[in-house]
Amino acid sequence: MLNNGIQVVHSMTRWFGGRRALGLLCAIFLGAVVGAGQPAVAADPQTPGDKPDKAPLLQLGPGDSVSIQVYGQPDMSSTVYVGDDGNISIPLAGNVQVTGLSPAQASGRIENALKTGKILVDPHVSVTVTQSRSQRVSVLGQVGTPGRFPIESNTSIFDLLAQAGGVTSTGSDMIYIIRQDKDGKETRYPVDLKGLANGAGALPSIALRGGDSVFVPKAEQFSIYGEVSTPGRYRVEPGMTVIEAIAKAGGITQRGSQRRVEIKRKLPNGNYSHVKAKFGDLVQPDDVIQVKESIF
Sheet of 147-150, strand order? 147-150, 136-141, 213-216, 174-180, 186-192
Same structural domain for residues 226 and 288? yes
User: Domain total for the chain?
Assistant: 4
Same structural domain for residues 225 and 284? yes
What was the pLDDT predicted at 81?
87
| pLDDT tens sequence across 113-144 | 898 888 888 889 999 888 777 788 999 999 99
* 41 domain residue, yes or no: no
**Which of 97, 116, 131 is a domain's end point?**
131
Same structural domain for residues 151 and 182? yes
Closest to 64 in 3D by CA, of 148, 123, 146, 152: 152
Same structural domain for residues 144 and 170? yes
* 43 domain residue, yes or no: no
* 56 domain residue, yes or no: no
* 44 domain residue, yes or no: no
| pLDDT tens sequence across 239-293 | 899 999 999 999 999 999 999 999 999 888 888 899 999 999 999 999 999 999 9
Q: What's the DSSP call for residue 54?
A: S
The predicted model gives 131-159 an average pLDDT of: 86
110 in Cβ contact with 126 (< 8 Å) = no
Distance (Å, whole) CA 185 – CA 142: 24
Same structural domain for residues 208 and 225? no
Q: Who wins on pLDDT, 217 or 154?
A: 217
* 257 domain residue, yes or no: yes
Q: 3-state DSSP call for residue 261?
A: strand
CB count within 10 Å of CB 125 equals: 23
Same structural domain for residues 95 and 166? no
Same structural domain for residues 284 and 235? yes
Distances (CA, A) of 4 to 9, 12, 21, 33, 119: 9, 12, 18, 12, 51
Same structural domain for residues 195 and 141? yes
The pLDDT-based confidence of 19 (bands split at 50, 70, 90) is very low
**Which of 114, 131, 148 is a domain's end point?**
131
**Which of 95, 116, 131 is a domain's end point?**
131
What was the pLDDT predicted at 73?
85
Q: What's the DSSP call for residue 111?
A: H
* 45 domain residue, yes or no: no
CB count within 10 Å of CB 278 equals: 12
What was the pLDDT predicted at 197?
60
Same structural domain for residues 289 and 226? yes
Domain carrying residue 272: 221-293
For residue 275, give the CATH number of its domain: 3.10.560.10
For residue 79, give the CATH number of its domain: 3.30.1950.10
| pLDDT tens sequence across 47-66 | 433 433 345 557 788 888 88
Same structural domain for residues 267 and 225? yes
Q: What's the DSSP call for residue 49?
A: T
* 273 domain residue, yes or no: yes
Q: Who wins on pLDDT, 203 or 281?
A: 281
pLDDT of residue 4 exceeding 90: no
* 160 domain residue, yes or no: yes
- Strand intervals (E) in 30-135: 65-70, 78-81, 87-90, 94-97, 125-131
Please report, as a single letter, which amino acid is at residue 123. Answer: P
